[in-house]
Amino acid sequence: MSRSRTLGRRVFDYVSFLAFRGVSMAAGLYPRETMLRLGDALGLLWFALDAKHRRLALSNLRLALGAEKTEAELRSIRFKSFMHLGRIVMDLARAWDITAADIDRYFVFEGEENIREALAMGKGVVAISAHFGNWELMGGHALRHGRAHVMAKKIHNPHIDELIRKRRLEKGIVPIDVTETSLKIFKALRANEPVAFLMDQSAPSGQGIEVDFFGHPASTYTGPAAVAIMAGCPVFTFLSIVLPDGRTKISYGKIMKLVRTGDFQEDLAANTRMFTKAIEDFIRQAPEQWLWVHDRWKKRRDAGVSPR
- For residue 182, give the nearest of 221, 151, 147 by alpha carbon: 151
Distance CA 28, CA 35 (A): 9
Q: What is the pTM of this model?
A: 0.90
**pLDDT score, position 205:** 84
The distance of Cα 241 from the centroid of its chain, to the nearest Å, equals 11
Question: Pairing relation of β-strands 194-198 and 235-242?
Answer: unpaired
Q: Do 135 and 280 reside in the same domain of the chain? A: yes
Q: Do 72 and 6 reside in the same domain of the chain? A: yes
Q: Do 111 and 54 reside in the same domain of the chain? A: no
Q: Do 80 and 173 reside in the same domain of the chain? A: no
Q: Do 49 and 125 reside in the same domain of the chain? A: no
Distance CA 237, CA 6 (A): 41
Q: Do 144 and 287 reside in the same domain of the chain? A: yes
Q: Look at residue 128 and tell me if it is in a domain.
A: yes
Domain final residue, candidates 61, 82, 97:
97
CB 87 within 8 A of CB 43: yes
CB 75 within 8 A of CB 54: no
Q: Look at residue 304 and tell me if it is in a domain.
A: no
CB 251 within 8 A of CB 111: yes
**pLDDT score, position 305:** 62
Check pLDDT > 50 for residue 253: yes
Distance CA 49, CA 72 (A): 21
Q: Do 90 and 121 reside in the same domain of the chain? A: no
Q: Look at residue 22 and tell me if it is in a domain.
A: yes
Q: Do 286 and 161 reside in the same domain of the chain? A: yes
Choose the weakest-confidence range: 98-102, 139-143, 272-276, 298-302: 298-302
Q: Look at residue 301 and tell me if it is in a domain.
A: no
Q: What is the pLDDT of residues 92-141, one digit of tens each?
A: 777 777 888 989 999 999 999 999 999 999 999 999 999 999 988 888 89
210-241 burial by CB neighbour count: b if 16+ within 10 A, else e? Answer: bbebbeeebbbbbbbbbbbbebebbbbbbbbb
Helix (H, G, I), strand (E, B) or coil at 186: helix
Handedness of CA 91, 93, 97, 100 (dihedral sign): positive
- For residue 39, give the nearest of 96, 85, 81 by alpha carbon: 85
Q: Look at residue 56 and tell me if it is in a domain.
A: yes
Q: Do 127 and 247 reside in the same domain of the chain? A: yes
Q: Do 144 and 257 reside in the same domain of the chain? A: yes
**Angle between helical axes of 32-49 and 71-94 (0-180°, round to 10):** 130
CB 107 within 8 A of CB 137: yes
Q: Do 89 and 111 reside in the same domain of the chain? A: no
Q: Do 137 and 264 reside in the same domain of the chain? A: yes
Q: What is the pLDDT of residues 181-214, one digit of tens each?
A: 688 999 999 999 999 999 999 998 888 999 999 9
Domain count, the chain: 2
The range of the structural domain enclosing residue 194 comes to 102-292
Q: What is the pLDDT of residues 45-102, one digit of tens each?
A: 999 999 999 999 999 999 999 999 999 999 999 999 999 999 988 887 777 778 889 8
Q: Look at residue 302 and tell me if it is in a domain.
A: no
CA angle 231, 232, 234 (to 5 degrees): 110
